[in-house]
Amino acid sequence: MDLATVDDLEFFEQISRSRSLTEAARIWGMSLPSVSRRLTQLESRLGVQLVRRSTRKLTLTPEGEHYAAGVLAILQQKTDLEEGMSPKHGELRGRIALHTTVGLGRIHIAPLLGGFVRNHPGVSVDLQLSALPLNIAASPFDIGIRVGSLEDSRLKFTRLAESRRVVCASPQYLETYGTPRTTADLEQHNCIVLRQDNSDYAVWRFGADGREHNVRVKGNMVSDDGEVVAGWCLQGLGLMMRSTWHVNPMLRQGLLQQVLADVPTPAADIHAVYPSAVHTPRRVTALIDYLRSRLAERLEHDDGDRRLS
């Protein structure tokens, strides 16, 4: 069997990230028949089918998924080697794959990545947004951006910004239904709950410094999307518990009011987590440093205008 060239590996790495062969052809600047023919030649040389083809969708076979993971690792090693041969303050190069939650990713992380790439045009970023939790230690991602506590000892982490979950409501809701004074009062209120991380989303956590207690809440509106939950709260439909990185602009504008402000809540800081490897590529370290230096300032001055980057 002939060995694949680096160009073959780069070709299939792009195939594996494309939604269709048509998309891959457009990215490579090739005709669709040329891309299909080259993929067929690669499969013939390997003796396995890598891709299930259809007119609208590209799906990797199990063999294709295995090959794609190996290809990505080889190309990453190549980039790391070349980067390591560059002068210490030379140009950053290579791909960085990140994973984070939908809301935080759209509102803050994506704009910051745009600024980083402008400063380092030799770096490419691949950002995946998902409401589902990620085991980054067993994933192809270089960095995960997480909110809340960290427990996986296989990971390194860097705190990017402080955050805390707070209970809030619209002024019209509080005028109509009253303001809860204690956590026990929550039982008498409609609580809009956010389903996330496969946790018991109907439990709100209070307390700090090891003296935490849980309060089971109830309400008639549940969603797995933080923007949806915030929208319902703004409409005066109930109380919600959300991170300060999300609601601070609404609190500053008076659109929402914090309640139970004298009751402490556990920290929900924003962290960058990454595999506990012997060597962390310089581009990954540079991006983490960039996010740490810019995110806290961005949150402090966030006025809710999502047009700003």
pLDDT in tens, 148-200: 776 655 667 889 998 889 999 999 999 999 999 999 999 999 999 988 765 65
Give the helix ranges, DSSP H, for the chain.
Answer: 6-17, 21-28, 32-46, 62-85, 102-104, 110-119, 171-177, 226-234, 244-252, 282-300
> What is the overall mean pLDDT for the chain?
82
Please give the Cα distance from 32 to 251 (Å, whole number).
52
* Residue 82 in domain: no
Nearest to 301 by CA among 152, 161, 119, 125: 161
* Residue 1 in domain: no
Answer whether residue 89 shows pLDDT above 60.
no
Least confident of 41-45, 53-57, 68-72, 171-175: 53-57
* Residue 195 in domain: yes
CATH number for the domain spanning 170: value is 3.40.190.10
Q: Are 169 and 255 contained in the same domain?
A: yes
Q: Which residues on adjacent β-strands are paired with residue 125?
A: 96
CATH number for the domain spanning 30: value is 1.10.10.10
Task: Give the per-residue pLDDT at 308.
Answer: 39
In terms of pLDDT, which residue wins out, 68 or 196? 68
Q: Are 181 and 243 contained in the same domain?
A: yes
Q: The domain containing residue 16 runs over which residues?
A: 6-68
Q: Are 169 and 230 contained in the same domain?
A: yes
The pLDDT of 5-21, averaged and rounded, is 77
Q: In this structure, are residues 240 and 229 in contact, taking their beta carbons and an 8 Å threshold?
A: yes
Answer whether residue 31 shows pLDDT above 50.
yes
Q: Are 226 and 172 contained in the same domain?
A: yes
Task: Give the per-residue pLDDT at 117.
Answer: 93
Q: Ranked by mean pLDDT, which of 5-14, 23-32, 225-234 comes out on top?
A: 225-234
> How many CA atoms within 13 Å lie on the side-chain side of 162?
4
Answer whether residue 2 shows pLDDT above 90.
no
Q: Are 56 and 99 contained in the same domain?
A: no
Q: Are 100 and 149 contained in the same domain?
A: yes
Task: Give the per-residue pLDDT at 8.
Answer: 78
Q: Are 52 and 184 contained in the same domain?
A: no
Q: Are 135 and 282 contained in the same domain?
A: yes
* Residue 77 in domain: no
Confidence of residue 136 (pLDDT cuts 50, 70, 90): low
**pTM exceeding 0.85:** no
Residue with tokens 């001055």: 301
CB count within 10 Å of CB 98 equals: 24
Q: Are 253 and 286 contained in the same domain?
A: no
Please state the domain count of the chain: 3
Q: Ranked by mean pLDDT, which of 19-23, 251-255, 270-274 comes out on top?
A: 251-255
* Residue 49 in domain: yes
Q: Are 35 and 57 contained in the same domain?
A: yes
In terms of pLDDT, which residue wins out, 164 or 309? 164
Task: Give the per-residue pLDDT at 198.
Answer: 57
* Residue 125 in domain: yes
Q: Are 277 and 132 contained in the same domain?
A: yes
* Residue 38 in domain: yes
* Residue 308 in domain: no
Residues in the chain: 309
Q: Are 147 and 186 contained in the same domain?
A: no
